[in-house]
Structure 1
Amino acid sequence: MVYDPRPQRYDSLPYRRAGRSGLLLPAISLGLWHNFGGVDRFESARAMVRTAFDGGITHFDLANNYGPPPGSAELTFGRLLREDLAPFRDELIISSKAGYTMWPGPYGDWGSRKYLIASCDASLKRMGLDYVDVFYHHRPDPNTPLEETMMALDQIVRSGRALYAAVSNYPAALLHRAAGLLRDLGTPFVLNQPSYSMFNRWLEPDGLLDALRDEGVGAIVFSPLAQGLLSTKYLNGIPADSRAASATGFLKAEQVTPERVAQVQALNEIAAARGQTLAQLALAWVLRHPEVTSALIGASRPEQITDAIGALGAGPISDDELARIEAILSPPPA
């Protein structure tokens, strides 16, 4: 059956500018890190991507190594483009990245010119694209000169493989350096993708928000729900089907302490008083910063995406609510 997207799809979400660029992103973006790989059901992936686009999510975030196995999320998305989304390519922002291990040997990891350009070409081939809208260096490389990495991003943009350059996991000091190099090269640099949530606030003392504002770069924050901890799933401990119960998940059982569960329960009360789910409150909390262009969510079923799309429906978080949230979060549990 031919996919016919919802005509009112642009009424659901606000679109926010990436720094001082011309690029607008939906306030909620969909990441394909989990549940879109070769081991996952294609029809589940299709249902989630269709739900996202029907709800106004135009930005789909990938990386070379997303799967499992690595590369398979891009293959899945390439099939979705061919079968569902090809007529709407100009409405989409598609991003990919390179910087983590992708293939054996010294040229399949980190931030060398050889790795980044080869990886970008491979990502385009897997997705069947002539270009991606945004291409990221996925993580800082302590051994490759930053100048080389930024020149590789510049070549990727100038060659037409990508429209914009971006970085991920860059702290403030490194972001300033990267922005200066790309500015000198004349390369459009639009985004940094850091982790950020109520339970992971490293970028605040780092000064990253100030650096983003100074450099005119937007943030698209990942893990805003703290790997699902900031949802109703953990209100009463660790369910058997959760990430924390899985030995392969990034959220570990030892992180779901009684103190943390008490915080989740208290935050859920604030969310309920606002007429929101806890996940919606957590998304609204990260999006309250003008420097944050978009919150990047993962999903395992369409209902989670629909819930996230409604995150800003309850209006801004008031100063009183922010103070109550801060009292719950500080001091953090041991």
Structure 2
Amino acid sequence: MTADRYERLEYRRAGGSGLDLPAISFGLWQKFGTDRPYETQREILLRAFDLGIAHFDNADRYGPPYRAAQQVFGRVLQQDLASYRDELILSTKAGNPIGASPYLRGGSRKSLLTSLEHSLRDLGTDHVDIFYSHSPDPTTPLEETVGALVSAVEQGKALYAGISNYAPERAHEAAVLLRRAGVPLLVHQPRYSIFDRSLELNGLLKLAAEDGFGLVVYSPLAQGLLTGKYLEGIPTGARAEDSPFLSPDVIDDTYRQRAAALNRIAADRGQSLAQLALQWVLRQPQVTSALIGASSIWQLEHNVQALTFPPLTEAELALIDEHGVHGTGLQL
């Protein structure tokens, strides 16, 4: 492990809290199940930490199978990173379905706190730094869901509370309830990219500033649509062949024309489309961190290099707006 890791990456304050997060965080949403070689996963995670990425984002659903990604990270933590635990930000989420039982889904106190106990065992740690409600549950009173997050913090099993995929109105209600309980909302985790500007359009970006929470955005590369991978079609072995999150139907002529134009903007700046896309989401002051994944060390290092390029100019942002049309390739 290199001693200069914290000089390699920008850190940003999460909303109105005292916590700094790396501008780029690492998510284990995909490619960290039992269907991938453990040694490759381990090498990527260790290289991420070496590059200054101290925040690793997980969930009970991540695999396959469910919980496998947490177990992978727990193994790396025990094997390599145990002495660095105090320098890591570990987050996990609960509430999305992980089984047929009514207690393995939803925002009830039973579901959230039981899942957290399992996650702590998976990770091999006595606490996580951020515990999220993964999605809003309209069938459970918000007071109960928020109460579970508060209990997790009060019991010392989480240091901060977060929410993910909440619409602005419900996010504001959660922020108010958490603040009243003395556990302010640290972060909200929404989807955000050049092709998905929902948080700008629905007011969530403005709300983050008003309510004082940070945004940790996921899918900044739009499941690979904002890379060069699909500019000429669907290559063999690409995610679009078998992913539930990316249909080959969206890789049409309209997408390719828009992505190619964005790629030219990136090339004129001397960077890749992926690097441009990461810079674009991070231009917003409310965005504390952008979550990335990686299937190789090269891909990881390439994406982190996005932080080394000059800021986007007003003229470049206008061009991106012209070709980065909201809803392109979007799957709800």
Instruction: Pick the TM interval, shorter chain.
Output: over 0.9
Residue 310 of structure 1 aligns with an amino acid whose one-letter code is: Q
Partner of 2:295: 300
Residue 114 of structure 1 aligns with an amino acid whose one-letter code is: K
Contact 1:20/1:217 (<8 A) preserved: yes
Residue 300 of structure 1 aligns with an amino acid whose one-letter code is: S
Taking the aligned partners of 1:197 and 1:308, their CA distance within structure 2 comes to 15
Indicate the SS of the match to 1:136: strand
Contact 2:197/2:326 (<8 A) preserved: no
Partner of 2:63: 67
1:62-93 deviation digits (Å, cap 9, x = unpaired): 00111000011111111000011111111100
Give the counterpart of 1:323 among 318, 322, 329. Answer: 318
Structure 1 residue 262: Cα displacement: 1.1
Structure 1 residue 333: Cα displacement: 5.9
Verify: 1:45 aligned to 2:34, yes or no.
no
Verify: 1:273 aligned to 2:265, yes or no.
no
Verify: 1:129 aligned to 2:128, yes or no.
no
Indicate the SS of the match to 1:233: coil
1:149-196 deviation digits (Å, cap 9, x = unpaired): 000000000000000000000111111100000000001320000001
Partner of 1:157: 153
Write out aligned runs for 1:42-121 (5 A).
Answer: 42-121=38-117
Contact 1:193/1:219 (<8 A) preserved: yes
- Residues 48 and 296 of structure 1: CA distance in aligned 2, closer, same or farther (over 3 Å): same
- Residues 199 and 330 of structure 1: CA distance in aligned 2, closer, same or farther (over 3 Å): closer
Contact 2:132/2:163 (<8 A) preserved: yes
Contact 1:285/1:317 (<8 A) preserved: yes
Contact 1:243/1:249 (<8 A) preserved: no
Residue 305 of structure 1 aligns with an amino acid whose one-letter code is: L
Partner of 1:287: 282
Structure 1 residue 103: Cα displacement: 3.0
TM-score by length of 2: 0.97
Partner of 2:204: 208
Give the counterpart of 2:175 among 174, 179, 183. Answer: 179
- Residues 178 and 332 of structure 1: CA distance in aligned 2, closer, same or farther (over 3 Å): closer
Which stretch of the first structure deviates more once superposed, 307-316 or 214-223?
Answer: 307-316
Indicate the SS of the match to 1:78: helix
Taking the aligned partners of 1:254 and 1:154, their CA distance within structure 2 comes to 42
Structure 1 residue 315: Cα displacement: 1.7
1:41-60 deviation digits (Å, cap 9, x = unpaired): 10011111011011110000
Partner of 2:252: 257
Structure 1 residue 123: Cα displacement: 0.2
Structure 1 residue 115: Cα displacement: 0.5
Work out the percentage of aligned pairs sharing the same amino acid: 51
- Residues 144 and 324 of structure 1: CA distance in aligned 2, closer, same or farther (over 3 Å): same
Taking the aligned partners of 1:43 and 1:333, their CA distance within structure 2 comes to 36
TM-score by length of 1: 0.96
Taking the aligned partners of 1:86 and 1:79, their CA distance within structure 2 comes to 10
Contact 2:196/2:328 (<8 A) preserved: no
Contact 1:191/1:220 (<8 A) preserved: yes
Gapped runs of 5+ residues in structure 2?
A: none
Structure 1 residue 20: Cα displacement: 0.5
Residue 246 of structure 2 aligns with an amino acid whose one-letter code is: L
Taking the aligned partners of 1:33 and 1:205, their CA distance within structure 2 comes to 26
Contact 1:12/1:309 (<8 A) preserved: no
Taking the aligned partners of 1:217 and 1:145, their CA distance within structure 2 comes to 22
Which stretch of the first structure deviates more once superposed, 7-16 or 174-183?
Answer: 7-16
Q: How many residues align?
A: 329
Gapped runs of 5+ residues in structure 1?
A: none
Contact 2:195/2:326 (<8 A) preserved: no
- Residues 333 and 280 of structure 1: CA distance in aligned 2, closer, same or farther (over 3 Å): closer
Indicate the SS of the match to 2:249: helix
Q: CA RMSD in A?
A: 1.2
